[in-house]
Amino acid sequence: MGKAKYKRRFGDRAEGRQIRSLSAFYKFTPYIMKTRNDACNYFSDSVEVTETDRWLRQKREEGYKGLGFLHLFVATYVRIVAQRPALNRFISGQRIFARHDIEVVMTVKRALTSEADETTIKVVLDPTDTIFDVYRKLNEKIDEIKADSGENNTEQVASALFKLPGLVLKFAIWFFNLLDYFGLLPKSLMEASPFHGSMVITDLGSLGIPPVYHHLYNFGNLPVFLSFGAKRKAVELDKDGQPVERKYIDFTAVIDERICDGYYYATAFKYLKYYLNNPWLLETPPEKVEEDVF
């Protein structure tokens, strides 16, 4: 018998359904920690990528030009959401929601020069996406931005708003926050907003620097900000006591603690390192996609 189709209920939002079966403690938490900055947890770790780097080089030789750690981190996040769906929750209007799609936001420069404009893109992904699906979808968005010197939707909205007088602009942002609180923000604005999505990711390795701890935004509903830095080398002793050179990548995450508990987050980070160490597992779709509770 096929899986029953979800029907939207009162209190749900366009981008997600309200989770109603959580304990009173979880439902109460967003009233105590009212903003994402109130609820930020900071995490840092490193992952050994010696073999992963070889795998990436092999895939680039097979024709996946430019396949890199950015694609791999995003694909790993998508696979984790397929198995740990609570990571894709968000808080809006002091309620906890399960997001319908996986929406990854990132900042892109149209060229790696000081003068080049910077903009944001939002890539919509599915829990069943493989590393190759992520590679295609991500590159399509990036190529679209780099090929078009005009403004994208996000820039057009920002340009239109910034034409308003300062006091009117402050009122407009307050009004948008009010609409967002009640789930009434127009879909067009939500799609253009870089502050609404599953996760923001920044590749500081492309700039040759370590990762930063980036704050979450109180505007919108993004619950995770992931940053990773440049590869670094370390000389260590192998099991026989011989010195060997290994490669590492450091990463940081700033997370909204209200969407799930510490044990759940800890498991997610273990999965993150597991898939980064075994990237070939991301070449095929997951055997099963877990659905968040109702």
What are the pLDDT digits (tens) for 65-93?
999 999 999 999 999 999 999 999 999 99
- Cα 98-100-104 angle, rounded to 5 deg: 100
Domains of the chain: 16-283 (3.30.559.10)
Cα gap 156→189, rounded to integer Å:
11
Give residue 1's pLDDT: 40
Cα gap 130→82, rounded to integer Å:
11
Q: At what angle do helices 69-83 and 131-147 cross, to 10 degrees?
A: 130
Positions of the chain with pLDDT lower than 70, given as ranges: 1-5, 110-116, 149-151
Task: Name the burial class of residue 231, with classes exposed (0-12), middle (13-18) and buried (19+) by CB atoms within 10 angstroms of its CB.
Answer: middle
Q: How far is CA 175 from CA 118, 169, 185, 257, in A?
A: 27, 10, 9, 27
Give residue 2's pLDDT: 45
Q: How far is CA 150 from CA 15, 145, 147, 179, in A?
A: 28, 9, 9, 29
Share above pLDDT 90 across residues of the chain, in percent, rounded to a whole number: 77
Give residue 116's pLDDT: 63
Cα maximum dimension of the chain: 69
Q: Give the helix ranges, DSSP H, for 114-165.
A: 131-147, 153-162
pLDDT tens-digit map of 22-70: 999 999 999 999 999 999 999 999 999 999 999 999 999 999 999 999 9
Q: pTM for the whole thing? A: 0.93
Cα gap 206→283, rounded to integer Å:
24
Cα gap 224→40, rounded to integer Å:
9
Q: Which two tokens stand for residue 195?
A: 């502050």
Where are the extended beta strands (E) located within the chain?
16-18, 40-48, 89-92, 95-99, 102-109, 118-125, 199-203, 224-237, 243-256
